[in-house]
């Protein structure tokens, strides 16, 4: 094994290898910064370019693009509140508030470091445990996925600081939106009103950019006087010792958790980063800081989604099963290079297997070296005069949505969700539960129905599987515990008041 990784490193550390990773990282970061263009598009664009190249070099280029695009996505989430991909949504929760407080530089640095740590820890795990974990990857069937999604969904209850009811209402709307489109179990059209643009449902990006970025633009325009002072400050990049101490725990834990979730095909980065955010909020001594620019709250999802990105390579390299959209495109890219990933990849093409892993180490390092000095440059976008910046964000969102669907209909939808998001902000309905429920709802419904079809309608299928049963138990607990806690707290408050 060490021989394998050594050969991999030799290839990756050649001058040519480094150059390709470097080019990939720059191209990837730039593509990733545009909302809507994430790692999937970035790699798809690279496929025809890598055709005919030496496979090892092509993989290095793509590893650079992959990590670059993931990091670029974090930048637009932090600076503009415009998450380009579902997995970078939790990055906005604390990243954007930091930018608003004039700490954009620090936020980007935290994201870069957390990504690096998440990426590196998980690649180390991948190096040592990939073959062993391949078994874990196929342990999930429809009932287990349903339980996992349900567990993810219970997170909505923890999103609100004031009103659980508002979170739940918001989540319900998200679940309803998820039903739009052709139902994949029966082929029936649901709520499409004969409009072909709705056949495939509403794209995640339309809702995310509308509810987050456009809604924020509206608020910025309204409150242009008060906050204008802070926001065009970038602040120092330097992290204090205190910051590092804060970050260390979440980064370590969430890199591993993210990796493990990434190993499950189909679950992926979104669940990993949401769960990371929620679990850190629950573990934190001062959970009230979350959502207001907490370093922990930013580091956790960033470490987790990078961890899960490497985790997704376990089923791809170990079994030939692409577990996420990005690895599906990677699979295509490997085929073009003449390599068919499958269970035998490691024994048939050890050079490719280790080449990919070595390129991930290098990709992570190069990205960190490349991005830290570039942060002031990225952050300069905030120096753009306010009226211009808000218009830029609007254009950014329009382009992002148009680039994935090429449909003007989606642009109208985007504007509609922008208005909805703004109205929700006015009456303090949190948008995150809506988005989370929308993302998980579709998959949850499908796996529920797949499970019930398999069991001929019997719900016992969820109890028979130990994995599903334990996940359901965790889901139940995470729903009940906060309610009990609240009750206790209320009682405590009442007692306190009485004393006074």
Partner 1 sequence: MKKQFGFIFLILTMVLVTACSSDSASSGGEDGKWKPEKSIEIVAPSGAGGGWDTTARMAAKVFEEEKIIDQDIGVVNKPGGGGAVGWAYIHAKKGNPHHLFVNSPPMILVPLNGQSEYDYEDFTPLVNMIADYGAIAVAADAKWDNLKELFEDMKKDPSSITVIGASSPGSMDHIQFVKVAKAAGVDIKKIKYVSDQDGGALTAVLNGSADVYSTGVAETVEQVKAGKLKVLGVTSEERLEGEVLSDYPTAKEQGIDATFVNWRGFFGPPDMSEAEIKFYEKKFKELSESEGWAEIRDKFGWTEMYMDSEQYKEFLAKEKEELKKLIDELGLGK
Query: Judged by CB under 8 A, which of 109, 206, 317, 329 binds partner 1?
Result: 329
Judged by beta carbon, residue 265 or residue 291, the one nearer partner 1 is: 265
Residue 39 or 118: which CB sits closer to partner 1? 39
Query: Interface with partner 1 by CB under 8 A: which range of 67-75, 76-84, 343-351, 391-399?
Result: 343-351
Structure-token pair, residue 306: 């990078």
> What span, in angstroms and rounded, lies between the C-alpha atoms of 8 and 228?
50
Q: Is 341 in the site for partner 1 (CB under 8 A)?
A: yes
3-state per-residue secondary structure call for 104-140 = HHHHHHHHHHHHHHHHHHHHHHHHHHHHHHHHHHCCC
* Residue among 132, 222, 426, 454 that touches partner 1 (CB under 8 A): 454
Contacts with 423 (C-beta within 8 Å, 6 or more apart), sequence order: none
Region binding partner 1 by CB under 8 A among candidate stretches 67-75, 136-144, 284-292, 361-369 = 136-144
CA distance 263 to 387: 44
* Interface residue with partner 1, options 97, 143, 152, 235 (CB under 8 A): 143
Q: Does 406 bind partner 1 (CB under 8 A)?
A: yes
User: Is residue 168 within 8 Å of 459, Cβ to Cβ?
Assistant: no
Q: CB under 8 Å to 36, separation ≥6 — which residues?
A: 84, 205, 209, 399, 400, 401, 403, 404
- 314, 293, 291, 311: which is closest to 303 by C-alpha? 311
Residues in contact with partner 1, shown as a per-residue x/- string from 195 to 234 under the rule CB under 8 A: -xx-xx----------------------------------
Q: Is 348 exposed, middle or buried (0-12, 13-18, 19+ CB in 10 A)?
A: middle
Residue among 2, 3, 162, 186 that touches partner 1 (CB under 8 A): 186
Q: Which is nearer to partner 1, 161 or 183 (CB)?
A: 183
H helix or E strand, kind and range, residue 181: strand 181-182
**HSE toward the beta carbon, residue 104, CA cutoff 13 A:** 25
Tell me which residues in 25-54 interact with partner 1 (CB under 8 A).
Answer: 40-41, 44-45, 47-49, 51-53
Give me the least distance between CB of 456 and partner 1, in Å please: 5
Q: Rounded to a whole number, what is the largest CA-CA distance in the chain?
A: 78
Of residues 94, 35, 69, the one with CA closest to residue 299: 94
Q: Which of 219, 425, 450, 474 binds partner 1 (CB under 8 A)?
A: 450
Stretch that binds partner 1, among 109-117, 289-297, 312-320, 388-396 (CB under 8 A): 312-320
Chosen residue from 253, 287, 407, 469 binding partner 1 by CB under 8 A: 407
- Which residues form the interface with partner 1 (CB under 8 A)? 16, 23, 40-41, 44-45, 47-49, 51-53, 57, 137-143, 145, 182-187, 189, 196-197, 199-200, 265-266, 315, 319-323, 325, 328-329, 332, 335-336, 338, 340-345, 404-407, 443, 446, 450, 453-454, 456
């Amino acid at each position: 094994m060490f021989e394998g990784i050594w050969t991999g490193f030799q290839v990756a550390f050649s001058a040519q290898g480094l150059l390709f990773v470097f080019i990939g990282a720059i191209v990837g970061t730039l593509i990733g910064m545009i909302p809507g263009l994430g790692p999937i598009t970035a790699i798809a664009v690279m496929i025809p370019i890598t055709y005919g190249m030496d496979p090892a070099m092509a993989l290095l280029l793509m590893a650079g693009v992959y990590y670059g695009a993931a990091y670029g996505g974090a930048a637009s989430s932090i600076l503009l509140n415009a998450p380009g991909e579902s997995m970078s949504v939790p990055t906005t929760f604390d990243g954007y508030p930091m930018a608003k407080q004039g700490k954009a530089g620090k936020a980007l640095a935290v994201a870069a470091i957390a990504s690096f740590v998440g990426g590196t820890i998980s690649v180390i795990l991948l190096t040592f445990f990939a073959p062993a974990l391949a078994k874990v990857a196929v342990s999930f069937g429809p009932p287990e996925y349903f339980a996992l999604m349900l567990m993810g969904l219970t997170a909505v209850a923890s999103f609100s600081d004031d009103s659980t009811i508002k979170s739940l209402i918001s989540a319900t709307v998200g679940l309803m939106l998820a039903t739009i489109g052709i139902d994949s179990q029966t082929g029936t059209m649901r709520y499409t009103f004969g409009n072909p643009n709705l056949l495939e449902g509403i794209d995640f990006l339309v809702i995310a950019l509308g509810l987050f970025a456009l809604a924020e633009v509206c608020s910025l325009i309204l409150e242009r006087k008060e906050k204008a002072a802070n926001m065009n400050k970038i602040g120092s990049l330097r992290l204090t010792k205190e910051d590092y101490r804060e970050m260390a725990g979440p980064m370590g834990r969430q890199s591993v958790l993210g990796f493990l979730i990434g190993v499950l095909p189909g679950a992926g980065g979104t669940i990993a980063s949401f769960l990371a955010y929620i679990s850190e909020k629950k573990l934190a001594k001062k959970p009230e800081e979350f959502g207001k620019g907490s370093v922990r709250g930013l580091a956790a999802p960033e470490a987790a989604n990078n961890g899960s990105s490497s985790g997704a390579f376990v089923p791809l390299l170990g079994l030939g099963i692409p577990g996420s959209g990005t690895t599906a495109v990677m699979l295509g890219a490997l085929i073009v290079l003449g390599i068919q990933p499958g269970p035998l990849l490691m024994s048939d093409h050890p050079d490719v297997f280790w080449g990919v892993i070595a390129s991930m180490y290098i990709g992570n390092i190069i990205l960190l070296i490349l991005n830290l000095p570039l942060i002031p440059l990225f952050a300069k976008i905030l120096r753009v005069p306010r009226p211009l910046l808000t218009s830029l964000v609007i254009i950014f969102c329009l382009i992002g949505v148009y680039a994935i669907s090429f449909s003007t209909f989606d642009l109208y939808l985007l504007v509609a969700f922008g208005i909805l998001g703004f109205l929700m902000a006015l009456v303090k309905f949190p948008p995150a539960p809506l988005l989370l429920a929308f993302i998980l709802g579709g998959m949850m419904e499908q796996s529920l129905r797949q499970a019930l079809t398999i069991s001929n309608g019997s719900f016992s299928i969820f109890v028979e599987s130990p994995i599903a049963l334990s996940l359901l138990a965790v889901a139940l607990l995470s729903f009940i515990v906060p309610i009990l806690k609240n009750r206790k707290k209320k009682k405590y408050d009442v007692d306190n008041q009485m004393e006074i």
